[in-house]
Structure formats: C-alpha cells, structure tokens
Amino acid sequence: MTFEKPVSAGRSGGRAARRAARSAPLTDDLRAIRPGLTGGSLKVLTEPEILRIHHAALEALERIGLADAPASGVARLTAAGCVLGDDGRLRFPRALVEDMLALANRSVTLCSRDGATDLDLSGQRVHYGTAGAAVHLVDVDGRHYRDCTVQDLHDAARICDALDNIHFVQRPMVCRDIADNLEMDLNTIYACTSGTFKHIGTSFTDPAYVAPAMNMLHMIAGSEASWRARPFVSNSNCFVVPPMKFATEACLVMEGCIHAGMPVLLLSAGMAGATAPSTVAGAIVQAVAECLAGVVYVNTLKPGHPTIFGTWPFGLDLRTGAMTGGSGEQALLSAGCAQMHHFYGLPGGAAAGIADSKLPDMQAGWEQMCSNVMAGLSGLNMIYEAAGMHASLLGFCHESLVLGDDLIGQALRCVRGIEVTDETLALDQMAEVCLGGSGHYLGTGQTLNRMQRDYVYPTLGDRTSPKEWVERGKPDLVARATARKEAILAQRAPARFAPDLDLRLRDNFRIHLSA
C-alpha cells in the first residue's frame, strides 16, 4: 500500500484547545464509558464446564432438594410438580426447572425514580453499584470504626447520586441507631430514596413490614399505579440459608414483594468451605442450584416477574475462617457465576469490589480492582458491593466510595475493550504524521477528537510528575476524597422530596432523619 504525501492538519489550537475539548460535556454515545457497556470477553469457564455445572445443579435439585420452605411455598411448589419427601425436603424434577426457566423474565429493566438512570439488564450489559449490610462506618481521619447511622446511609445515597460510575444504590449499611426493626426498614427506604434518583435495593426483616413499606413507596411514587408502572426499589432477598435450605421468613417477604410489584433479587450467599463446597466449581454449583430453585418459586407465584439471578458465593480463608471478599478466588467465583447467568439468559448479579483491608489503602485498591475488572469483563449485569466496602463487608467508607468511582471508571474502560475499525487502525493518521507532518500525534485533529472518546481521566487519581506533585503540596488521595465528599454533602440533595410530600411522609411514618 502507498500513500500520497498528505497536507498536515497542524496543531488544533494547542494545549488550550485540548483542555477546552476535555472539559466540554459529551453525549452518552461519545463518552468513553457509560452504564450498560457490554462485557463478556472474559470466559473463565469453557462451554463443556458450563454444561457440567448446569447438570450438577439440576442433579442437586432433583436428588438433594431444599428444606424449610414455608407452607405457602410448599403448596405452590408441589402443585407445580415438586416432590415433598418424608424428610421434609422439596425436590425439583429437571423438567419442572426447565419449564420455569422458559417462563422467566429475560428483559428486566430496573427503574430509577426520575427515569434518567434506568438499568437495562438484557444481554451482558454491565452495571456497578453498592450493596451489603455493613454495621460500621470507617472513619478515615481517626482510623477507627463506629456504628453506622441513618444519616450515614443517607449521605452514602447522596454521594452515589453524584458519582457517574455508581449506577445503582443497594443499601450498603444498616442503621444501627434505630432499634425498632420496622422503623429501621422504613427509614432505610426514606434515607435512600431522598438521597438518590438511582435505582435502590433494600431488604425487610419481617414479612409484615412489606405492606407499610409499600404504602410509603406509593406515596413517594404518587400512587400505587405509578409505583407498579415504574418500581424504583427492588427487594434484596436472601431466600435461602445455604446449604440448600429455604429461609422461611425471607420467602414470605419475597411473596409479599412479588404481590406488590417489586422486582426481586434472589440472593444465595454461601461461604466456600463453610456453607458451600470449598472448591470454586462446587460453590458455583450450589449457588446455581439454589437460585434455580428460586426461579421456580418466583414463577409459580407470578410467571415472568422481574427477577435477578443472584448467585453470590463468597470465598473463605480456610486458615482462619475469615471471609476473603478481596481474593482472586472471589473474582473467579463472580466471573464464573456471570457465565452461568448468560447460559440461562437471565439477568444476574454477584458480588465484586469488596476489600478485606480495613482502610482505603493499597491493599484495598488491588482487592477492589481485581474482582471489579473480572466481573465486568465477564459481562455480569449487576455488580454489587463494587465500592465502599471494607473489612469483608463489616465496614463501609464514604471516602472509599468516592475513590471507587475512579476505580470503576478504569474497570469500565476495560469492559469497553478495543474497537478495531478503519478509523481506529489510524493508517491515514500515521501517514499524515510520518510523511511530512510533525512527526508526532500530539495535538492532531484525530487525537483531539478522540481524546474523550477513547480515554478515561480519573477525577482524583494523581498523574502529575514528582516535581508537579511537590509544587501542589504533595496532595493525599484520601484527603482529596474527603474534600469531594464534603463538597457533595454541602449541596442540597437533588433527590430530596418536595416539602409537601416530605411532610406527609413524616406525618405517616416515624422518620429519624432531621427535616
């Protein structure tokens, strides 16, 4: 191939033009990263291995089954074709599982309150967000842990609302300052929905609490019909107690949520080596079997109800018995689960981004990035606990949440991958630069035009030279995260309720947050 000697385009305005282009807002189609990028390039399981896991899960359901279903569940499941054994265990024939999989909803969209950040869970679209039930807040200044409060939860939701790469807000911590469980569940919903427009996940400690929570959500939505048309809160439901037992009360919560039109996350969270087999493959088999049982349960109640296949097996340090959320094994567990979700064609979620480190330090960085990148590359639809989680889910950190936005941005760039087109192969650009041009690509029209489209620039990450770093006073990363947190919280929350709605909510429910 030969090239004509091109006319050089020259520099496009120099450094000032580059800075102006970089600061200009981009439409979603031109952004380097955005919610719902398609993953799936990483495959930790081969097709034969996926089939072996699938058949092993079906055998576990047919031969072992699950214990402790509530009476309502036993009635529905046996009527559908499950077999109740003399040992009290429900066993699931393969044909029944396959029939219910055919009814399952494969086109789930999780709604946001304002409609601006809905999550399309079809295919291998990737979304990162928070989750967990941390009981402590990490105080980075004092380097200590204290009990979480409802204000901490509200602040976390407000911070998430301002972070581009946090796509949903499943409740990341428990309000330890509210002793009454009903009030805690209701205040959790209030704190999150008044803090962010993004989709929210929550749980309920008692089946009786679903009805008052729905009353609150109908008020926030404007009516029951508006809520059912666009449910902006989903139920994170630990419907099983691994190994292979239903959580009786949680199943009743699930039934109530389905009746109320709330999407459900079927969450199986076995600990490899304790409540799940110690091998990565075995832990995945059990999680898949338990969630398949959940799919059958849901679709006997309401065929096609929006449901997330929530295989959440966790790793365990077999030397100490400590959870290893930040391990390579955890990354493999979640990546393998993502492939099983794709095999069934179901919207799925799993855990990633957990740090076993107690503070946002180098250990936390490698632990959070390892599993977040692998989960994203595997095409996991919902990546839970992706930011802010420390001490193997015992601690949540606002500063780490802010830093996690940068970290997830880099993970999303990995998910996006490499585009190979005539434009990106850049032969014309090479000819322009090399055949009589400047001899470098800095400031060329093509470089300037694609610098935002192809590259992700960290908000807080420091890429200065050592000299510049010194000149800027040796800025500390965690201190910068604290400053951004405080700047977000100093502003009025965009998602706050209108005064008349807030007054009605406070008249009907005991709200612990100050007005």
Per-residue confidence at 8, pLDDT binned at 50, 70, 90? very low
Beta strand 119-120 pairing with 109-110: antiparallel
For the record, the structure tokens of 312 come out as 């959440």
Inform me whether the pLDDT recorded for 213 exceeds 80.
yes
**Range in 127-141, 223-237, 425-439, 485-499 the model is least confident about:** 425-439
- Taking the C-alpha atoms of residue 92 and residue 78, their distance in angstroms, rounded to an integer, is 9
Query: What are the distances in angstroms from CA 341 to CA 112, 283, 292, 379?
Result: 23, 15, 11, 9
CA torsion angle for 91, 93, 98, 102 (degrees, to 10)?
-70
Quick: pLDDT tens for 18-59.
555 555 566 776 789 999 999 999 999 999 999 999 999 999
Mean pLDDT score across all residues of the chain = 94
First to last CA, the chain: 71
Inform me whether the pLDDT recorded for 12 exceeds 50.
no
- Taking a C-beta distance cutoff of 8 angstroms, is the pair 42, 335 a contact? yes
Q: Residue-wise over 95-133: b if at least 16 C-beta within 10 A, else e?
A: ebbeebbeebbeebebbbbeeebbbebebbbbbbbbbbb
Residue 21 has a pLDDT of 52
Query: What are the distances in angstroms from CA 240 to CA 215, 237, 272?
Result: 27, 9, 15
Query: Residue 364 CB: number of other CB atoms within 10 A?
Result: 25
User: What is the reported pTM?
Assistant: 0.94
According to CATH, the superfamily of the domain at 101-416 is Trimethylamine methyltransferase-like (3.20.20.480)
Beta strand 389-390 pairing with 395-396: antiparallel
Quick: pLDDT tens for 55-78.
999 999 999 999 999 999 999 999
Inform me whether the pLDDT recorded for 6 exceeds 50.
no
| Average pLDDT for 309-336 | 94
| Average pLDDT for 95-114 | 98
DSSP E strands: which ranges in 210-279?
233-237, 264-268
Assign residue 237 a region (left: φ > 0; alpha: ψ between -120 and 50; beta: otherwise).
beta
